[in-house]
Amino acid sequence: MSHDVSALPGRFDVAVIGAGVVGCALARRFALAGARVAVIEKAVDILDGASKGNSAILHTGFDAPVGSLEQSCVAAGYAEYLEIHGKLGLPLIKSGALVVAWSEEEEALLPTLMEQAHQNGVADVEALDETAMRSAEPGLGKGARVAFRVPREYLIDPWSAPYAYLLQAIENGAEILRGAEVTAGRRSDNGWVLETSRGTVDAGLVINAAGLWGDLLDEKLIGRRDFHIKPRKGQFVVYDKPAAKLASHILLPVPNKITKGVVVCRTAFGNLLVGPTAEDQDDREHAVLVTETLEALKKRGEEILPALKDQQVTAIYAGLRPATEFKDYRITAHDRTYITVGGIRSTGLSAALGIAQHVLKLAELNLAAPADPVWPTVPNISEFSPRDWQTEGHGGIVCHCELATKREIQKALDGPLPTKSLAGLKRRTRVTMGRCQGFFCSAEIARLTEGHFDRPMAEKAQ
């Protein structure tokens, strides 16, 4: 049974605007606290904005600004993910990270970064001289000098996690309205009436988690914005699965004031990725891939791991991060009826659960938590745990590159939070994301998804 609705009648305690990873975590936290929650998303599927493209790492926050809101939210989110991932069926792949210095200047910065990690409560970082570094990662390029290890950095599935958060919210009473852009809002005697492209929503508390559009939504609803989103594009190169054996750690550069830099790491899906870039732009909707930039990214990847020269690239993608003119997150309770959650940049996946904890405290609602909350589990699509194709009755493998089955596709289309687009189906099952990029399976997927998508696969973009 689908919990999607065509309208949201009645009064809600909380309306969360935006169904990215932060919005999904907020919906979960408030639903588990006992609130009646509405989630409003302008796209036809969840995770369609900044959350669709990231490095898929669960960070300790060792390099976050000491004493910042970002650091506290990352630490809390990290801890809660470790606590709940098993109950929700989410993967946690032990990897650890190496912060590698490639110049004398970077090497000089490592002691300061290690001290910063200690101040952030990450006390188990370990300095490695060149011999120890190369013992840990024999494939590193000649330019690597020294490193330090962060043992408790993990790889996770960046899409199943927010899906699980929102699914748990829904199974505990939340409702979602997709394809609904918030066009206006007016204050009522005890909250807000939000106007959307699919009707009105009445809520006591509005939480702006609109990501790349958060500052404009503030301006629309409360008449001002306290920050300005400047989208920061990150392009990625994804190598075929045999490349994953080239690195056992997440390979991090020494960060600078603008970006954490280019990362090389395995993924939960058995690939190896290189990225992201950090390119500021004005366009909030389109993350255009640039051939010259991708070639430079490949070159940098090959400097870090020279053996990548012999590996095949199977995918390229780009995402936008909602950067602002400020270093820290922009989370503000403007009054008892409106909270802005903005400027959540590259650490949003790790911090989302912690952000939700922080916002619940800001809200100061008088709620009664359910005595026995529902804990749904989500299907595993990670390469590091058993997959559906390994069990009987799966109906056949549809996408052979990613071993996605007919049963997995049908569950994604018919479950309590059904996917409404090919992009959403990709994030739920990995279909078309392998070596052939959908060349062999697209016709069968089009047949299976007929009548389920807002725009059928066979329909040409206008």
Instruction: With beta carbons less than 8 A apart as the criterion, state whether 27 and 379 touch.
Output: no
Average pLDDT over residues 424-429: 96
pLDDT-derived band at 7, boundaries 50, 70, 90: low
pLDDT-derived band at 462, boundaries 50, 70, 90: very low
Taking the C-alpha atoms of residue 164 and residue 182, their distance in angstroms, rounded to an integer, is 24
Task: Report the pLDDT value the prediction gives residue 5, as an integer from 0 to 100.
Answer: 59
Question: Which helix (H) or strand (E) covers residue 40, if one does?
Answer: strand 37-41
Q: Which residue, among 231, 166, 151, 146, has the nearest Cα to 30 in the 3D structure?
A: 166
Task: Report the pLDDT value the prediction gives residue 460, as an integer from 0 to 100.
Answer: 47
- 89 CB burial (10 A radius; 0-12, 13-18, 19+): middle
Could you say which architecture CATH assigns to the domain 97-151+230-321?
2-Layer Sandwich (3.30)
Average pLDDT over residues 40-62: 94
What are phi and psi for residue 205, nearest 5 degrees?
-130, 130
Whether 56 has a pLDDT exceeding 60, the answer reads yes
Mean pLDDT rounded to a whole number for the chain: 95
Percentages (nearest 5) of helix, strand, coil residues in the chain: 30, 25, 45
Residue 157's CB is within 10 A of a number of other CB atoms, namely 27
Average pLDDT over residues 192-221: 97
DSSP 3-state assignment of 29?
A: helix
What proportion of the chain, given as a percentage, has pLDDT over 90? 92
Whether 125 has a pLDDT exceeding 80, the answer reads yes
Taking the C-alpha atoms of residue 115 and residue 389, their distance in angstroms, rounded to an integer, is 46
Instruction: With beta carbons less than 8 A apart as the criterion, state whether 287 and 271 touch.
Output: no
Q: In the numeric block, which tokens belong to residue 354?
A: 């912690």
Whether 43 has a pLDDT exceeding 90, the answer reads yes
Query: If you write DSSP's letter for every residue of 189-255 in order, what string do you get?
Result: TTEEEEEETTEEEEEEEEEE--GGGHHHHHHHHHS--SS----EEEEEEEE-GGGGGG-SSEEEPPP
Distance linking the first and last C-alpha atoms of the chain: 32
Sign of CA dihedral 132, 137, 139, 142: negative
Whether 461 has a pLDDT exceeding 90, the answer reads no
Q: Where are the domains of the chain?
A: 97-151+230-321, 388-448
Question: What are the pLDDT digits (tens) for 305-315?
Answer: 999 999 999 99
Whether 301 has a pLDDT exceeding 80, the answer reads yes
Question: What type of residue is 376?
Answer: P
Question: What are the pLDDT digits (tens) for 366-385?
Answer: 999 999 999 999 999 999 99
Whether pTM > 0.85 for this model: the answer is yes
Task: Report the pLDDT value the prediction gives residue 251, as an integer from 0 to 100.
Answer: 98
